[in-house]
Structure 1
Amino acid sequence: MMTINKLFKSFLVVCVVFAASCDNDITDINTNPNGVNLNEGNPSFLLTDVMANTAMDVGNKGYSDPLSAFVQYTQKDSWGNNNYDWTGSGWEGYYGNLRTAKLAKERSVELGFKFHEAVATILMAHNFALLTDFYGDVPYTEALQGDGEILLPKYDSQESVYKGAIADFEAASAMLSSNSGSLEVFSATQDIFFKGDAQKWIKYANSLALRYYMRLSEKDPGFAGAGVQAILAKPLISSVDEEAAIPYLGISPDNSQPSNGQQGTASNFTRVKPAATLTYRLEELNDPRRHIWFDAVKIPIKVVPAADVPGGVDDVVEDGVRYINEETLAANNFKIYNPDTWYQDRLNGLTMIDTNSVYVGIPVSNQGSQPYTYNLNPNPVQGGGNPHVSLMNPMFDAVSGNNLKARVFSYAEVCFLKAEAALKGWGTDAQGNYNKGVQASLDTWGIGSEYADYIGNPDVAFNGSLEQIIEQKWIANFSSASEAYLDWRRTGFPDLKTGPFAKSTVIPVRFVYPTNNSTINRDNYYSALNNLETTSHSGDVPGYIENDTPWSKPWILQGVAKPW
C-alpha cells in the first residue's frame, strides 16, 4: 500500500491548481484564475489528491482533533478542547474533495476510463456521506454545478444523501466487476489506497455500503436489514492486508502523523495526553494495546501512611516516585481518583490524585480551564511538562513509522459490523466475527500473538451483547475517532459521559454549519434548519443561530432513543 503523498511533481500542476481554487464555500464557481485548462486534467492525479485529502481528514480527526476528545481517546492539557464546545470542521475540505473528484469523474467518462470513473464515484459518495454524517441535510444534488447554473444549491435531506451514497457505492462496485476483464491501468504510484488493484476497490466499495447500511440500522431497519443481507453476499475487506490504512509519508505536516513533535514545536506532541476513560478501561481488560499507545508515567504518585513517606515529610520525590502522606489529603481537598466517583468528587471541589503506577490519563472536562495542572503537576504552566501524566507512545512523536497510518477502513471494522449484523438477525456467526475483529485489531498494531490470552479474559470473551461488540470496536478504532463517534451516536455505546465542566451534560450529536451559509445561501440554509429537531440541550450554550446547534438532532436521530 502506498504512502500518503500530496507532493507530486510538475505533472500534478493541474491537480494542485484545481484544489487551490476550491478553498471557499460550496457556492463558488469552479473557475481557474491561473489559466490552466481544467478540462485537460489527468484523472489519476486528481483522484490521488482526493484520496490523500480524505485519508488525512480521517487521520487528523482520529488522533488529536477535538473529535478524539469527544470519544475520549485523547485529551489535550494545553491549547485543546476538552469541554465539548467544538462546533466541528470539514465542510470546505469535503466540498473541495468533491469538486476535484467530480472533475476526475467527468474526465474519466470522456476518456472511457471505467476504473477511474468507479473510483471517482466511490470517493464522491464517501465525502458526501461524511458531510451528512456530521452536519445533517447538506447540498447534494445541486452542490457541484460549477458552470454557474446553480449558485445557491438546496440542502437535500439527510436520508436522500445516505441512500444516494449507498447506491453509488454499489454501482461503482458493479461497474468494476462487470468490466473486470477490460479495465485500464491505474498506476500503483497514483492509487495510494490499493495500488491499482481493482478487486480491492470492489471490496472497499462493498464494505463502505455495509458501513452505511448499518449506520441506518436504528433509523430505518427495514431498508438497512435488506441491504446488509444483500451486501454480505458480496466480496468485502477480508484481511488486514486489504484494509484502507495509508502510511504517512512524513515530508510535511500535510502528510505526516498528526501532532508529531518534529514539525512545528515539540509541544505539538507533548500536549496530547491519553484520556483516563481509555487508560482505565484498557487496564481493567488487561489490554495489550495500552503498551503500544501510551508511555509510562515519568513519576508515579503513591499515597502512603505517614510512616512510609521517605524522610518523614508529607510530600517528597525519591527514587523516581512521589510519595504523599495520606493524612494530608482531607486538609488539602485531595482525593485518590476513582473512575466510579470522580465526577461527583470534582463537583464537590476535590482535587484528584491518580496513583496509577503505569499509565495516567486525563479525565474528560476535568476543569473549566486547560488541565495542565492535573495530578498535582509541579510545573503548572500552559505548554509545560507534567511528570505525573502519561505521554502518548514516543512513536507518535515521529512524522512516519510502521504503525503510523490514516486508518480509513479497517478489517476489524468489517468484522465488528458483521458481528453486529448477526445479532440483529441479518447475518450469521456473531461470536466468530467478534473474535476476528479483536484478532484483526491486535494484528494491525503488531501484537497478534497476544490474542489467545486477551480473548480468554472473562470481560473480553464474547457474551453476546451489542455493548461488548461496540466497546471492542471503539477500542479497535483508536486513531479513527470519526467512526467511534458515529457508532456512539447510533448505539449509545460505550456509555461515554461529558465531564463535570463540559458545556453540556450530553455529548454533541452534529457539527454546526459554517457561519457564511446563513448569509450566502440564506434561504436554503434556513430551510435546512427546519429539518433539525430542537432538544432540551439545544439551548445549553448561547450564541447559535436558531437550532443550528451541536445538540439539535438531524434526521437520523429523530424518533430514535440513542444516544440520549
Structure 2
Amino acid sequence: MKNYKYILLFATLYLGAACTDLVDDVNDDLTELSADVIPPEKFLTGAQLANVLAQVGHANRISGLYTGQLTGFAAQYKNIYDYTLTSEETESTWNRIYQGVVPQTRLIISKLEGENALLHGICQVMEAHVIGTAATLFGDIPYEEIFIEGLEDPKFDEQATVLANVQLLLDEAIDNLNVAATGVISEDIYYNGDKQKWLEAAWSLKARYYMQTKEYSSAYSAAQNGISTASNNMNFIPIGDSSITGSKNTYFTLLNGSRAGDIGTQGSYFSGLLDPSGTTSRNHAKTDETARFEYMTVDQTDG
C-alpha cells in the first residue's frame, strides 16, 4: 500500500509539472521583437520622418505667421496669427524632437558599439539639426540632462549653451563622416548614405547656428564647405502617391483638407517685399526676385 501511495504522489507531481509546462509561454507575444535583435539602421527611417515633421510641420507654419511670410485667414491659424497661442500648439513638435528623433538616433549609436562611422555621423547630424531647431524656436530647452536614467525633470539650458553644444556635436559628426567608408544606406531617405552630402549638410548647419549666435565670420567659413548644389540639399521629397494622404507635402495635405483657405501668403509682409509688381516691393533694380517670390508663395486656395 505504501508503494502505491508513492507512485500516486509521483504521478500527481509529474502530471502537474507537465501541465504547467504546457502553459509556460502562453502569454508570450510571438510578434513582439526586442530592440536588441533589430539592426540599428532599421531605426533610421522613422527618426528621419519625425525630423521632417519637426522641421516643416505645425511649428514651421507658426514661425511663418510670426515672421511675416504667412497670413492666418480663418479658424486656428487666424487665432494664432492674432497671437492667441497655447502650449498645445507645440506639443507635437516637442514629441517629435524628444521622442521621435533624439532617443532613436542615440539608440542607433549605442547599438553600433563603435562601428560604422558613417551611420554614427549621420545620427549626430540629425540630432544637431533637430536640437538646433528646437533652440532656435523655443530659446531655452532641456538638453544636457535629457534621457538620464532616473531623472524625470531635466533642467532647461540657455539657448546659447545649447547652440554651442550643437556646434561641438557637429564637429564630432564631421570627424566621423570624414573617416567613414563610402557606402549606401537604403534606410536613409535623405541622402541614401552619401557621406559627401551629409558632410555638406553638417557644415551648412554649422553656418546656420553660427548665424543664430551672430558669429558671422565663422558662419561664412563654415558655409564654404556647405551644401554646394541643389541636389545636395536636405530636402525630403514625399512619395506623392495619390492614394496615400500622408505621403504628400505638408502644405498640400493641409490646404486640401480641413484647413483649406485658413493660411497662405496673400497679403503678407514678406510677399509684399518680394513681389516685383507690388507697391511695397524692396527688390533692387539689378536683382530679379521672381523665382524666390514664387517659391515662397503658399496659395491658401490650392495645395
TM score, norm. by length of structure 2: 0.72
Answer yes or no: is the 8 Å Cα contact 2:190–2:234 preserved in 1: yes
Q: Name 1:461's counterpart in structure 2.
A: 286
Answer yes or no: is the 8 Å Cα contact 1:203–1:236 preserved in 2: yes
Q: 1:460 to 1:196 in 2, by over 3 A?
A: farther
- 1:392-541 to structure 2, matched below 5 A, reads 459-461=284-286, 478=296
CA distance in 2, matches of 1:161, 1:477: 31
Deviation at 1:35, TM superposition (A): 5.1
Q: 1:177 to 1:165 in 2, by over 3 A?
A: same
Q: Name 1:247's counterpart in structure 2.
A: 237
Deviation at 1:173, TM superposition (A): 1.2
Q: Name 1:58's counterpart in structure 2.
A: 55
- 1:227-246 to structure 2, matched below 5 A, reads 227-228=218-219, 230-232=221-223, 235-246=225-236
- 1:24-423 to structure 2, matched below 5 A, reads 36-61=33-58, 65-81=61-77, 82-87=81-86, 88-89=89-90, 90-96=93-99, 97-108=101-112, 110=113, 112-145=115-148, 148-179=149-180, 182-183=181-182, 185-187=183-185, 189-217=186-214, 224-225=215-216, 227-228=218-219, 230-232=221-223, 235-251=225-241, 252-260=244-252, 266-277=257-268, 278-283=270-275, 285-286=276-277
- CA-to-partner distance for each residue in 1:516-549, whole Å, 9 max, x for gaps? xxxxxxxxxxxxxxxxxxxxxxxxxxxxxxxxxx
Q: 1:274 to 1:158 in 2, by over 3 A?
A: closer
Deviation at 1:339, TM superposition (A): 6.9
CA distance in 1, matches of 2:194, 2:34: 30
Amino acid at match of 2:117: K
Deviation at 1:164, TM superposition (A): 0.7
Deviation at 1:119, TM superposition (A): 0.6
Amino acid at match of 1:45: K
Amino acid at match of 2:129: H
Deviation at 1:265, TM superposition (A): 6.4
CA distance in 2, matches of 1:476, 1:62: 22
State the SS of the aligned residue for 1:84: coil
- Higher relative strand content: 1
Amino acid at match of 1:186: V
CA distance in 2, matches of 1:479, 1:169: 32
- CA-to-partner distance for each residue in 1:34-91, whole Å, 9 max, x for gaps? 953223333222122122221233232487x333222333334332322122245121
Answer yes or no: is the 8 Å Cα contact 2:136–2:212 preserved in 1: no
CA distance in 2, matches of 1:279, 1:203: 30
CA distance in 2, matches of 1:458, 1:95: 41
CA distance in 2, matches of 1:472, 1:208: 27
CA distance in 1, matches of 2:70, 2:155: 37
Q: Name 2:27's counterpart in structure 1.
A: none
State the SS of the aligned residue for 2:53: helix
Q: 1:94 to 1:244 in 2, by over 3 A?
A: same
- CA-to-partner distance for each residue in 1:367-420, whole Å, 9 max, x for gaps? xxxxxxxxxxxxxxxxxxxxxxxxxxxxxxxxxxxxxxxxxxxxxxxxxxxxxx
State the SS of the aligned residue for 1:276: coil
Q: Larger deviation: 245-254 or 135-144?
A: 245-254
Deviation at 1:264, TM superposition (A): 9.8
State the SS of the aligned residue for 1:260: helix
Answer yes or no: is the 8 Å Cα contact 1:72–1:275 preserved in 2: no
Amino acid at match of 1:154: K
Give the RMSD, CA atoms, in angstroms: 3.5
Deviation at 1:460, TM superposition (A): 4.9
Amino acid at match of 2:57: N
Amino acid at match of 1:77: F
Instruction: Mark the runs of 5 or more structure 2 residues left unpaired by the alignment.
Output: 1-30, 299-303
CA distance in 1, matches of 2:196, 2:119: 13
Deviation at 1:115, TM superposition (A): 0.6
Amino acid at match of 1:459: H
Deviation at 1:98, TM superposition (A): 0.8
Amino acid at match of 1:171: E
State the SS of the aligned residue for 1:268: coil
CA distance in 1, matches of 2:141, 2:283: 45
Q: Name 2:28's counterpart in structure 1.
A: none
Amino acid at match of 1:100: Q
Amino acid at match of 2:232: E
CA distance in 2, matches of 1:228, 1:40: 42
Amino acid at match of 1:173: I
Amino acid at match of 1:461: K
- Higher relative helix content: 2
Q: 1:274 to 1:172 in 2, by over 3 A?
A: same
CA distance in 1, matches of 2:219, 2:128: 18
CA distance in 2, matches of 1:479, 1:54: 23
Q: Name 2:3's counterpart in structure 1.
A: none
Q: 1:111 to 1:35 in 2, by over 3 A?
A: farther
Answer yes or no: is the 8 Å Cα contact 1:114–1:175 preserved in 2: yes
Answer yes or no: is the 8 Å Cα contact 2:118–2:193 preserved in 1: no
